[in-house]
Chain A
């Protein structure tokens, strides 16, 4: 395949021109080494198309383009105009919502209704940050009458961003044409090249903890570039006896089976207080069996296939490990159908905390459910994880809810994304001190 575009079709949006090149300096180009990688449709296991694959040489070209833009016109751009561009990008996402959602579903396997919601969130996110562009303030600090001290917030520079496959477009960062370069490639090649590049000032990575560790090491070994990481999770979802059971069930079901369980903050460990345990398990099973697992482009599909063969194999092997360790399969535990990477929604009970299905992140539609007696007991077991991404509590008691002292980040990451806090990941402070008093060394 040598072209830079290919005509494709999706069941939802019809024909469209799919770019296949590397997007550098606002143009699509081929990789220097002419390599390509195949893109598989996880619903059919068939090849959709091939795209050009970036190697280290392409990463160099992309970084150099980003550096030139940063040192040049982009640096001189007013905050107001930066904001305008972001909002314009949001408008374009909104205009092309159906197409973008269809491509997400085709490539990732998520249900079309979920993909549309994803794009909607992209639009909101870009608009949100478009509004921040001209509102990033430094400080003036009053120390003594002899000095005028102020702090400026300045951009960090060229940022390498490795994004995961579970919410592809939603993770796409806030950068308008001319300043954003987008390349496809393998983590071990292009991703590694970015993480260890001497002219990249900061790397942001979302993905597994194992790879996150590699990124951090590469950043340290190269130029001490700043790092933010959003990694794995094994989040507890806790239901107290006084919870509204129906409400809790719908949240718990969504919490693990949404996006086929391929969410960093999936509520994969469910703890139910013993007084309602049996009733809860029964109703949860009934609810989960109602989730429609089918073709992502069918209107009432809730759960599509897993994203790839590799992920499918991983999840199936965890299911086997759970069975082998003696956990009970309440529902699911098998592949669904014989084509596409579909796995039945799976609930394990009768588990013990040392099992691999309790310790390790599965990243599929597989959860465990167990009983607890007291608040202290569940807090202890919820915190007994190397991860610390998210947690959920279902209760009507305000104090119980507020009082849950969950642990910190641990191995779930470094830094914060979203909201105002995210801005700090992309800024550095410069302190300026102007002497107003008399000369010190007269």
Chain B
């Protein structure tokens, strides 16, 4: 057994080879200082294994590899359709390896296995396949300014892109970033999250297997403050894309200014879900439940503030509590009946518990949950009971701040105007949902709510992936858009070419 891989057996019995090194130039290498990151199983707090952590010197090596690959005719002059074929091959390899990848996601992140397999992995292969199809369809324009000139634009890749991804959908977030970047011909240095470093390393081997030239995709694990910062301020990187907290996003933006690198950010959210009294109550309850409780509430677009029209407020609370009780089965994520696994790390777990204390001390009503959940296995693991606070005021921290756990606040409102005012009373603007049967109200409100995505009568469709539709935030939820055709904008420059046909001095 080398220092760069280890044979592991997952809790569901699956055996596989786990790489542990840094993936640079299609090869596995050790970190330059020998520092390691320990990956903890959040279900029982046991140690899974250790992986190499990148230092700034390792980031330099990866950037060098990515730059060389970017300038190499093998990648630079590859026909776009061929790039698409490589990406398509990669998506097929993901499908072929989905069971082992889903197993690692559940082991490392804590999300239920059936979700990892049927939702996360489907998202990964679907997203890569979607962008594979775009590779040869990124068009420039020809612009008619008159007979004296032929003017056209070229969509060129940006160059070496640094991509820093979060832990809530480890492989899903990697696919969201790799898809458009590769489709447009860039090369990549990706830093995975230190909380979930494992699945991306198995995925890295598929990149080589698919046939991508060395250096096109480089994958590192490392600490945000070390490797992440090195990427954000690297003079050899042309663009940085980051998904994570707003606080970190702010730091990245500051660091990126060193060479004015192009930047896209997907940061936090405190998304409102509004239920009008003409809504289908049953549907509103079911959607709003998964809107905050799925993925252990660890979703950037989690609809964590539910605003219910006063006439149906009490009924809604009762129905919501019933839905939580019957559906939010907390347990071992490898068990089939589990809906909610553990929070991803001790730090996240303690953060959620501290918000529970804040809610209590601020005087909100604890309607459900409000404590750690100790009934899984031998009582270990970072489990939190699904928590509902009511009688919440907009001034409270639990109304204003992103908790990132199975934790929701429910308030009432009188009319559309008040709903709108409360919905927009936040520094965030990622998503929002409206439940009503009134078509005019739905479309009009969709325009007035400050958010990047509006759902009408649904919330996070789940199985029906949204990677074809642009996604991103306004206000402090982010800069730029990912997914859909819009996602390509973030990974190309428009170069204008003016050919003089008739203006002679």
**A interface residue numbers (CB < 8 A to B):** 80, 83, 87, 124, 127-128, 130-135, 137, 148, 398-399, 402-403, 420, 434-436
CA distance A420 to B133 in the complex (A): 12
A-B contact list, 5 entries, CB within 8 Å:
A80-B130, A131-B133, A132-B133, A398-B499, A436-B444
Q: A128-B136, A402-B150, A420-B137 are in contact. Are A148 and B443 (CB under 8 A)?
A: yes
B84 touches A131 (CB 8 A): yes
Q: A128-B136, A131-B84, A402-B150 are in contact. Are A436 and B440 (CB under 8 A)?
A: yes
Q: Does B382 contact A (CB under 8 A)?
A: no
A420 touches B150 (CB 8 A): no
B85 touches A131 (CB 8 A): no
CA distance A134 to B131 in the complex (A): 11
CA distance A127 to B92 in the complex (A): 14
A438 — nearest CB in chain B belongs to which residue?
B440
Interface residue ranges of B135-151 to A (CB < 8 Å): 135-137, 139, 150
CA distance A131 to B129 in the complex (A): 8
B134 touches A135 (CB 8 A): yes
A104 CB to nearest chain B CB (Å): 22
A434 touches B439 (CB 8 A): yes
A142 CB to nearest chain B CB (Å): 10
Q: Does B81 contact A (CB under 8 A)?
A: yes
Prevailing SS type, chain B contact patch: helix
CA distance A420 to B140 in the complex (A): 13
A131 touches B137 (CB 8 A): yes
User: Apart from A131-B133, A135-B468, what 11 extra A-B contacts exist at CB < 8 Å?
Assistant: A127-B81, A131-B84, A131-B137, A132-B133, A132-B137, A402-B150, A402-B499, A420-B137, A420-B139, A436-B443, A436-B444
Q: Which residues of A contact B130 (CB under 8 A)?
A: 80, 134
Q: Which residues of B contact A399 (CB under 8 A)?
A: 501
CA distance A132 to B139 in the complex (A): 13
**B132 in complex: contacting residue of A80, A131, A133, A398, CB < 8 Å:** A131
Q: Does B435 contact A (CB under 8 A)?
A: no
Q: Which 3 A-B residue pairs are closest in the complex by CB-CB distance?
A: A131-B133, A148-B443, A436-B440
CA distance A14 to B126 in the complex (A): 39
B125 CB to nearest chain A CB (Å): 11
**B interface residue numbers (CB < 8 A to A):** 81, 84-85, 88, 126, 130, 132-137, 139, 150, 439-440, 443-444, 468, 485, 499, 501
B88 touches A87 (CB 8 A): yes
A399 — nearest CB in chain B belongs to which residue?
B501
CA distance A412 to B344 in the complex (A): 64
A135 touches B485 (CB 8 A): yes
**A403 in complex: contacting residue of B139, B439, B501, CB < 8 Å:** B501
CA distance A398 to B501 in the complex (A): 9
B85 touches A127 (CB 8 A): yes
Q: Which residues of B contact A130 (CB under 8 A)?
A: 133
A133 — nearest CB in chain B belongs to which residue?
B133
CA distance A205 to B324 in the complex (A): 60
B137 touches A434 (CB 8 A): no
Q: Which residues of A contact B468 (CB under 8 A)?
A: 134-135
B134 touches A402 (CB 8 A): no
CA distance A137 to B469 in the complex (A): 10
A148 — nearest CB in chain B belongs to which residue?
B443
Q: Which residues of B contact A436 (CB under 8 A)?
A: 440, 443-444
B130 — nearest CB in chain A belongs to which residue?
A134
Q: Which residues of B contact A80 (CB under 8 A)?
A: 126, 130
CA distance A428 to B242 in the complex (A): 40
CA distance A316 to B134 in the complex (A): 47
CA distance A399 to B84 in the complex (A): 34
Q: Which residues of A contact B135 (CB under 8 A)?
A: 131
Q: Which residues of B contact A87 (CB under 8 A)?
A: 88
A434 touches B443 (CB 8 A): yes
A124 touches B81 (CB 8 A): yes
B443 touches A128 (CB 8 A): no
CA distance A124 to B135 in the complex (A): 13
B85 — nearest CB in chain A belongs to which residue?
A127
Q: Which residues of B contact A137 (CB under 8 A)?
A: 485
CA distance A123 to B412 in the complex (A): 58
A83 — nearest CB in chain B belongs to which residue?
B133
CA distance A80 to B443 in the complex (A): 27
CA distance A133 to B133 in the complex (A): 9
CA distance A131 to B126 in the complex (A): 12
B465 — nearest CB in chain A belongs to which residue?
A80
A402 touches B501 (CB 8 A): yes
Q: Which residues of B contact A133 (CB under 8 A)?
A: 133
Q: Which residues of B contact A134 (CB under 8 A)?
A: 130, 133, 468
B441 — nearest CB in chain A belongs to which residue?
A436
CA distance A105 to B85 in the complex (A): 28
Q: Which residues of A contact B439 (CB under 8 A)?
A: 434
B399 CB to nearest chain A CB (Å): 30
CA distance A133 to B129 in the complex (A): 12
CA distance A403 to B81 in the complex (A): 30
CA distance A132 to B134 in the complex (A): 8
Q: Which residues of B contact A128 (CB under 8 A)?
A: 81, 136
CA distance A378 to B265 in the complex (A): 56
Q: Which residues of A contact B485 (CB under 8 A)?
A: 135, 137
A317 CB to nearest chain B CB (Å): 42
A84 — nearest CB in chain B belongs to which residue?
B129
B440 — nearest CB in chain A belongs to which residue?
A436
CA distance A127 to B133 in the complex (A): 8
B501 touches A135 (CB 8 A): no
B184 CB to nearest chain A CB (Å): 14
Q: Which residues of A contact B443 (CB under 8 A)?
A: 148, 434, 436
Of listed A80, A131, A134, residue having the most chain B CB within 10 A:
A131
CA distance A374 to B137 in the complex (A): 39
B97 CB to nearest chain A CB (Å): 19
B443 — nearest CB in chain A belongs to which residue?
A148
CA distance A137 to B136 in the complex (A): 17
CA distance A148 to B440 in the complex (A): 9
CA distance A198 to B156 in the complex (A): 48
CA distance A135 to B138 in the complex (A): 12
CA distance A403 to B443 in the complex (A): 50
